[in-house]
Structure formats: C-alpha cells, structure tokens
Amino acid sequence: MRAALFDVFGTVVDWRSGVSRDVAVFLARHSIGGVDPEAFADAWRRHYSPSMEEVRAGRRPFVPLDRLHFESLQATLSEFDLARRDFADADLQELNRAWHRLDPWPDAVAGLPRMKSGLIIAPLSNGNLSLLLNMAKRASIPWDAILGAEVVAAYKPAPEAYLRTASLLDLPPGEIVMVAAHNGDLAAARACGFRTAFVPRPTEHGPSQTTDLKPEQDWDFIASDFEALAQPLVG
Amino acid sequence: MRAALFDVFGTVVDWRSGVSRDVAVFLARHSIGGVDPEAFADAWRRHYSPSMEEVRAGRRPFVPLDRLHFESLQATLSEFDLARRDFADADLQELNRAWHRLDPWPDAVAGLPRMKSGLIIAPLSNGNLSLLLNMAKRASIPWDAILGAEVVAAYKPAPEAYLRTASLLDLPPGEIVMVAAHNGDLAAARACGFRTAFVPRPTEHGPSQTTDLKPEQDWDFIASDFEALAQPLVG
C-alpha cells in the first residue's frame, strides 16, 4: 500500500459541532432568537447530497462545494424563515466559511502523522481545494497533498472521483486505501479497486444517529479510531 | 500576503545533480562508457521548454510532464547514439523517474518550514502531481498542497497557470508571492498580479551558467536563499 485517502466531513472533522458553533455566533450577532444552531446545521447539511447530485447526474457543470454550500445556506435560511432578513453578502460568505473552520476528531490529529510516516496521506473529499487547505492549516492536519472533487471535477461517489485521483497519484487503485466513516463511500471506492478502511463516527449526526454505526461489508480494515488504524496500515 | 508558491526545478531542487546521478547509474548498469552524465542531463533538459511549448501553443492537448520527459528521454538517447540499444521499457521508466528523486538545495529545506508557519506554501511547478508529491515525500519538503501545471492543465509561463491557481486557492493574486530563480517565471507571475521573489541559483546549469545570475526587474523580494527570504515574508 502506498497511499491512504480520507473522507473528511464526518471522518476527519466533526462538521456538526463546528458549523453549529459558527451558526450560533451568526445568530447572536444578528440578535436572532428561537433557532437551534444544531438544527440549523443539520438542515444545511441535508442539502449536501442533493446539491451534488445535480452535478453527478450531469444536469449542471461542476462547481466547487463552497458554491453549493452557499446556495444551500440561502435555502436553509428560507426554511428557518430568515430569508427576508437583509444579511450582507460578506456576512453570509463568512458564515459559509464555517465549513473551512471545522475541528478534527481528537484521534485524527494523533493518528495522521503516524500514517504519514509510511504512506502518502491526502483527503479525497467533496470539499473544494481552498476549503480543505484552509481547514488543514487551521487545524494542523499534515496532508501530503490536497486532493478531492475539485481537482478531478467529479463528486464522490461517482467512480471518476476515485479513478481520476488514482491516476493523478500514478498508483494502481489496489495500492490505495480509502478511509471513511461512511459505508457508501467505501462501497464506491471498493468498486473502483481501492482497499477500504472503516472508522465509525457514531456521533457525526449527533446523539441520536442511526446510520453508519457499524461496517456493512467486510472492509479490509476496521478500526475504532485513527490511532488504532495506524497500526495495521503502517505497522 | 497569504500564500507563497514556488517554482521547483532549479529553485527548490538541484535537478542537474540529481538527474546526472541517476543517468550515471543507468549508464553503468548498461555498461555504456564515453557518455558524460551531466552532458546527458543538460541535453535532456534542453527538450523541456520546447516540449511544453507544443501544449502552450495549443498544438497538443495537455499531457503531464512525466510523459513529456519520457519522450524527451527517447530523443536524448538518439542524440547520444543510444537509441538502437534495446532498453526495457521498465528501465527507461525508472530512469524517467529521476525527476521525482531530486534533492533540494540545502537552504530550501531549512527555510520552508519557517515560511509555512505564516503562509500557505505550495509548488507552482510544471512538474506533474505525482512527480512533485513523490519528490516531497522523499526529501521531506513540507508543502501544504501540491499545485502546478497538471492541476490547472496549463504550463507556465501561460497566464492560465498562475490565474487558475490563484482561483483554486480562492485568493486575489496580490495575496500570493511567486518564488523563483528565473526572471521569466517572475515576469509572467507579475503580469498576472502576483507579488514576486527572486532567489538566485547560480549553479543550476553547472559552473558556467550565464542566465538568471541576477534579478532583471525590481522584484518585490530579492534574497540570497530561502532562509534569507523567510525573514521578510513571515517576519
């Protein structure tokens, strides 16, 4: 194995805590009461897959995730009856960059340097390049490269997202392990010939999460967290 | 300033020493005498600009530098009357990857971590992604991201190479400094609105180099090496 590629939202970083934290700041600054920041974050995230599906289905040319997030933010504000408020564009752009300011799960920052000692480590995320790069600089995530949807102009789980990334690395898919907390991501990677590693993140969606609580296939590696995963990957 | 982007061949790494070292190994393995490895490296490198010019002029679709290097290697073997030798393809591919195994100038490895403490640091090189990534892993070059020609499908000094990279970083060109040992690279970057930093590499082409011995414009920063450049860039 030569490279480990990582899903990011949910797998490396805790998007729900980070986004709801910044939503709370935004609501307070605008003196808006009666909105639960975590419910707002969940609602915003519900637009995530449908927004990318427009691109995956070919109904829309590729646009970076920052732009999809911004459109989803505007839709979410409508859902919370906040669309009529006249927010400055700069304020909304600042809130949109909450997705650049997410904190890693604690074991991620501890485990990644060990994996980096023996493997190329990089995100294979649907986040755009500046999002992933700003996030990594802020949180000291030591990626060797920033890969993902924007670099290959394809959103996971489209096969092109995995196969074009392997081609950029000049590696056969079997020399790459995809690490994710989502069974669907791993199934798509496996179908492209990647090896697979599952790390559960049972509170990604909050305390009452029902999905991806456990591995749904015999993934090549299954580990409780990134520190535990480093051992079988790099010994 | 938010980001420092670096030319790589000549500016960060000493390509002539690295390539001639691997050429010498190749020649010895094949019991070929009478060929000067440095002359071979120089001849191989002479194909570099013309090979990219085919792409820049639109006469050929974008192909990664590894492929141009491989074609140039075959041409160089002809020039040294070695084309009739029946080298295995794997042997030639291995020699071609000499460009992935170049050593940094000593001050580069010392200066880059300091710059990284205050800026995004990344290559903006004509090398392809796997070349730059393998080089960085081998030599412990701590890039934050791997940018360059392959990611934006344009070879420097075409303006698209600089402007698309700024767009990927989501930064105005004026927030980016291009660092290079080549006046031509800096002139192209400046024309795109980048700030510019010149670091001379007076032995890049060997002891009798005549080009790029000194700055030819009033670049924003001029420093004797990467350690000296870190001071004005990040203080």
Tokens of B17: 């020493």
Tell me which chain A residues have a C-beta less than 8 angstroms from the C-beta of B120: 133, 137
Chain A, nearest residue to B136 by Cα: A144
The one-letter amino acid code at A70 reads F
Three-state secondary structure call for residue A77: helix
Chain A, nearest residue to B130 by Cα: A169
For residue A9, give the DSSP letter.
B
pLDDT confidence bin for B84, thresholds 50/70/90: confident
Neighbouring CB atoms inside 10 A of A31's CB total 6
Render pLDDT for B153-174 as a digit per residue (tens, 0 to 9).
999 999 999 999 999 999 999 9
Determine the distance in angstroms separating the CA of A182 from the nearest CA of chain B, rounded to an integer. 25
Tell me which chain B residues have a C-beta less than 8 angstroms from the C-beta of A168: 129-130, 150
Determine the distance in angstroms separating the CA of B26 from the nearest CA of chain A, rounded to an integer. 23
Is A130 within 8 Å of B66 when comparing Cβ atoms?
A: no
The residue of A62, A146, A165 whose CB has the most chain B CBs within 10 angstroms, and thus the best one to mutate to test that interface, is A146
A120 contacts chain B (CB < 8 A): yes
pLDDT confidence bin for B42, thresholds 50/70/90: very high
How many angstroms separate the CA atoms of B111 and B229, rounded?
A: 8
The shortest CB-CB distance from A130 to any of B136, B150, B168 is to: B168
The shortest CB-CB distance from A144 to any of B120, B133, B168 is to: B133
- Checking if the pLDDT of B100 tops 90, the result is yes
State the average pLDDT for chain A.
Answer: 97
- The domain defined by A3-14+102-234 carries CATH number 3.40.50.1000: yes
User: Could you tell me if A33 and A50 are in contact, meaning their C-beta atoms sit under 8 angstroms apart?
Assistant: no
A145 contacts chain B (CB < 8 A): yes
How many angstroms separate the CA atoms of A16 and A225, rounded?
A: 18
- Checking if the pLDDT of A85 tops 90, the result is no
**pLDDT, mean of residues A80-95:** 94
**pLDDT, mean of residues A12-17:** 98
CA dihedral of A200, A202, A204, A210, whole degrees rounded to 10 = 120
Render pLDDT for B43-56 as a digit per residue (tens, 0 to 9).
999 999 999 999 99
The shortest CB-CB distance from A129 to any of B129, B143, B145 is to: B145
Is B145 within 8 Å of A168 when comparing Cβ atoms?
A: no
The shortest CB-CB distance from B130 to any of A128, A129, A168 is to: A168
Is B129 within 8 Å of A66 when comparing Cβ atoms?
A: no
- Checking if the pLDDT of B85 tops 90, the result is no
In the block, which residue shows the tokens 């938010």? B2
The one-letter amino acid code at B71 reads E
Is B130 within 8 Å of A170 when comparing Cβ atoms?
A: yes
A96 contacts chain B (CB < 8 A): no
For residue A217, give the DSSP letter.
S
Half-sphere exposure of A50 (CA within 13 A, CB side): 8
Contacts of B119 (CB under 8 A, 6+ apart): B1, B2, B3, B4, B233, B234
Share above pLDDT 70 across residues of chain B, in percent, rounded to a whole number: 100
Tell me which chain A residues have a C-beta less than 8 angstroms from the C-beta of B151: 151
- Checking if the pLDDT of A235 tops 90, the result is no
How many angstroms separate the CA atoms of B13 and B224, rounded?
A: 15
- Checking if the pLDDT of A84 tops 90, the result is no
- Checking if the pLDDT of B95 tops 90, the result is yes
Q: Where in chain A is the domain with CATH 3.40.50.1000?
A: 3-14+102-234
**pLDDT, mean of residues B1-11:** 98
How many angstroms separate the CA atoms of B231 and B229, rounded?
A: 5
Query: How many cross-chain Cβ pairs, A to B, lie less than 8 Å apart?
Result: 45
Residue by residue, DSSP assigns chain B as --EEEE--BTTTB-HHHHHHHHHHHHHHHTT--S--HHHHHHHHHHTHHHHHHHHHTTSS----HHHHHHHHHHHHHHHTT-TTS---HHHHHHHHGGGGSPPBPHHHHHHHHHHHTTSEEEEEESS-HHHHHHHHHHHT---S--EEHHHHT--TTSHHHHHHHHHHHT--GGGEEEEES-HHHHHHHHHTT-EEEE---TTTT-TT--SSSS-SS--SEE-SSHHHHHHHHH-
B124 contacts chain A (CB < 8 A): no
B144 contacts chain A (CB < 8 A): yes
For strands A3-6 and B3-6, give the pairing.
unpaired
Contacts of A15 (CB under 8 A, 6+ apart): A9, A41, A45, A99, A102, A204
Assigned CATH class of A15-100: mainly alpha
Please tell me the CATH superfamily of domain B3-14+101-234, with its number: HAD superfamily/HAD-like (3.40.50.1000)
State the average pLDDT for chain B.
Answer: 97
Render pLDDT for A145-192 as a digit per residue (tens, 0 to 9).
999 999 999 999 999 999 999 999 999 999 999 999 999 999 999 999
CATH classification number, B16-100, choose in 3.40.47.10, 2.60.120.260, 1.10.10.10, 1.10.150.240: 1.10.150.240
Q: Where in chain B is the domain with CATH 3.40.50.1000?
A: 3-14+101-234
**pLDDT, mean of residues B15-28:** 98
pLDDT confidence bin for B224, thresholds 50/70/90: very high
Q: Where in chain B is the domain with CATH 1.10.150.240?
A: 16-100
Render pLDDT for B120-152 as a digit per residue (tens, 0 to 9).
999 999 999 999 999 999 999 999 999 999 999
**pLDDT, mean of residues A216-228:** 98
Tell me which chain B residues have a C-beta less than 8 angstroms from the C-beta of A136: 144
Render pLDDT for A122-142 as a digit per residue (tens, 0 to 9).
999 999 999 999 999 999 999
The shortest CB-CB distance from A145 to any of B120, B146, B169 is to: B146
Three-state secondary structure call for residue A188: helix
In the block, which residue shows the tokens 């605008």? A30
Residue A51's pLDDT is: 98
Contacts of B218 (CB under 8 A, 6+ apart): none
B145 contacts chain A (CB < 8 A): yes
A125, β-bridge pairs: A148
Tokens of A23: 């939503």
The shortest CB-CB distance from A130 to any of B143, B146, B170 is to: B170
B185 contacts chain A (CB < 8 A): no
